[in-house]
Each structure stands twice: as C-alpha cells, then as structure tokens.
Copies of this chain bind each other. A is one copy, B any other.
Amino acid sequence: MPRLLILSRDAEDYRKILASADLPDLIIENSPSKDCEIIFGAPSMIPGVLNDLPNLRWVQSMWAGVEPLLIPSLRKDYVLTNARGVFGGLMSEYVIGYLLAHERKVFSRRQAQLSKTWDKTLTGTLHGKTIGLLGVGSIGEEVASAAKFFGMNVRGFTRSSETSPDVDRYYHHGQLSEFATGLDYLVSILPDTKETHKIVNTEVLKTLPSHAIFINVGRGTSLDEAALVDALNQNRIAGAVLDVFEQEPLPPNHPFWDAKNLIMTFHTSAPSFPEDIAKIFIENYRLYLAGKALKYQVDFEKGY
C-alpha cells in the first residue's frame, strides 16, 4: 500500500480530488513518515522534508519548474516528474492576450474613455507579425500554435530540438543574434538552467527593432534585468511584459516598478488549477502501480 504525502497550500483540495478518484491501494499521510514513498507537491515545500522520507521513490511536482529540487546539496535518488501539458494553453492565452492588448491599444484607449475622448487611433494586428520563441518545449509548442493561428511568422530558438510544425524556422547555439534580428515580439519560455542564465542581455535587446515587445513567461534568471531597464528607459524597445523575476515577490525598491512601458503580472500567467494537476498525478500513479515508466520525468542534470 503506497503511502503519499501531499505538500501544497491547496492540500485539502488535492486530498478531496484524489479521494474521489478512488485510487487503488493509496494511503494519504497527514505528515512526513518514514514509510512514505511518494510526494505530490509544490517544489518550494519539498526540500524541507526530503531527509525525513528514507523510502521516498517518486516526487510528482505540481509545477513545471522544479528549481528548488535541483540544489546540489539535496538528494536526487528518486524519480522526479513535473507537471506538463496543462500550462501550454494558459501560457498561450497570456502571450496572445498581452500581444493583443499592445496591438489593440487596450490601455491607452481605456485612458481615452476615462477622459471621455472618442479615440479613433488606428489599431494594429497580429497578422503578419514575426514572433521569436526562446525555448520551444511542450509549452512553447502551444504558443507557436496560437501564434500561427493568428497568422504570425514563428521563429524558435532551442538547444537542438525541432519538434513543432508551427515554427517556420529554428535557430540554435551561435545564432541568437540572427534569431532576434527583425522580431516584432520576443517571448522567453526558458527554464532556469546554466545555459539560459541572462541569455536575454544587452546585446540581444540591442538587436531587437525599436518597436519590439519582450515577454518573459519562463524564469526571471533568463533575463539581465538591469539591461532591460536601460533598454526600456532609453526607448530602445517599445515595451515589455514580465510575469517572472529574479527575486519574487519583486523587492519594493526594484527599478522595474518605475521603468517605462513595462507591464508586470506577478507570476500569474499559468496558475496550477488542482483539477488539472491532480489528473497528472492520477495518470502517473496508475503507471507507478503497474511498474511502468512514469510520464514527464525530469533530468536532474538538464534541469527540465
């Protein structure tokens, strides 16, 4: 009878969903115990209990990003699986939503309304624009698909994979400058790894056209934040939309709060809805019981 520990601020929701799923043989523990072999949790809450679970065999992360579990001093003698397949649609909504807010002048027209002005300023369109995706994994593929639906040209920058039929052209290591040249929108969906550290730097931002918009829905570490502040305040790019930051919550004195044409959304682009995340656990639990390979395994070396 496998024993499971749930670690989440929504633990009660998860417990109810799993109970109603009537999973065979599963015992849900209330606190860490030496017999626990499975954790289903938010990565930030897991490091503190890792040493209390000598029989741990499998951790199912409730998030896509698992950085808290990659810290060198932590044990890695278990199978780590993350949440995939549920964030792509939410991320696509976010990216398309904010690109449309930009093209359709949603904020300036709202201001016009508040000042009772009939504002006929011409709007732009996504159709025919060029979007560059930094990182095209399972989430990036869905963003590419949405971009293609709206008639955009789609470029992808990846380490090596070229899996999306919606990417018109792929770029790899050494081609970052070529990739960024002429983009209308640059979108980072990169995980936090050594290779992605501050990959969006002064040089990349200088390569972008002055009308370009940068969106970060990956991880804050992939951006050189000071470089972005300069690029925005000097009007070298037209704007940025950031959902993730090096330090979260953003410190009160951070220059982002006063940067020009910057929109921030506080790590809300792709919330983990318990109904969606529980489905992933349930699917993997059935594989676990059957002794089969689990889905969405994370490579501790790569970090994703």
Contact = CB atoms under 8 A, between A and B. Distances in A.
Given A121-B268, A126-B93, A113 B263 contact: yes
A143 to B, nearest CB: 13
A93 B150 CA distance: 8
Stoichiometry, copies per complex: 2
A266 B150 contact: no
A89 B150 CA distance: 8
Looking at A98, A123, A257, the one whose CB has the most chain B CB atoms below 10 A away is A123
A125 B90 contact: yes
B93 A266 contact: no
A248 B119 CA distance: 12
Interface in A214-260: 248-250, 252, 257
Interface of A: 89-90, 93-94, 96-98, 100-101, 103-104, 106-107, 109-110, 112-113, 116, 118-123, 125-127, 146, 149-151, 248-250, 252, 257, 263-269, 271
Given A97-B103, A100-B101, 7 more contacts: A89-B127, A93-B126, A106-B106, A109-B265, A116-B257, A118-B248, A123-B269
